[in-house]
Amino acid sequence: MKRHAALETLSFEHHDALVIALRIKKGLLKNGDLEPIVEYVLSIYRNHLLHHFEQEEKTLVILLNSIPQIQQALRQMLSEHQRLAEIIRHLEKKEGNLQAHLNEFATLLQQHIRFEERTLFKLAEKYLTQEQLKVIGIFLHDAHKPINKNWQPEFWKD
């Protein structure tokens, strides 16, 4: 799907996050020790996803908040960011069913990315001016923190 250049860095990071979700799900299928998967998720969240969510919130929420047609989509984005953070808190405390938390995290991350790409970003491209998109693009480009694609957690390797 062709994305406006201003939102490309977010889309690149979304691709990386889909790979992360796949790695989590594949790791869970191996029915092994969950600790390495938990540590992987916590590391990825702290070092990459949290930054990504903050960048989305600093740019999209501020500029789209005044547009009535986008309110529901913004609420969904923020709600999903909050739910992913809640799951992380459970994983940090090692509380509850870790396998269920990991599975929910991976599933929600996939759904969240698809929602943003298919719905939220399309709305942003429709309602934001070219000047607003340009400002977003400059900010996001400068703040971009790509995930090291060569790093594979041990649990994911065969």
Give the per-residue pLDDT at 157.
Answer: 60
Packed helices 8-29 and 98-115: angle between N→C axes, nearest 10 degrees: 150
Q: Is the pLDDT of residue 156 over 60?
A: no
User: What are the domain boundaries of the chain?
Assistant: 5-144
At 151, the pLDDT band (50, 70, 90 cuts) reads low
Average pLDDT over residues 54-60: 90
DSSP the chain: ----GGGHHHHHHHHHHHHHHHHHHHHHHTT--SHHHHHHHHHHIIIIIHHHHHHHIIIIIHHHTT-GGGHHHHHHHHHHHHHHHHHHHHHHHT-S-HHHHHHHHHHHHHHHHHHIIIIIHHHHHHHS-HHHHHHHHHHHHHH-----TT---GGG--
Q: Is the pLDDT of residue 144 over 80?
A: no
Average pLDDT over residues 57-79: 92
Give the per-residue pLDDT at 32.
Answer: 80
Q: What is the CATH number of domain 5-144?
A: 1.20.120
Which tens digit of pLDDT belongs to each residue from 85-125?
999 999 999 999 999 999 999 999 999 999 999 999 999 99
At 9, the pLDDT band (50, 70, 90 cuts) reads confident
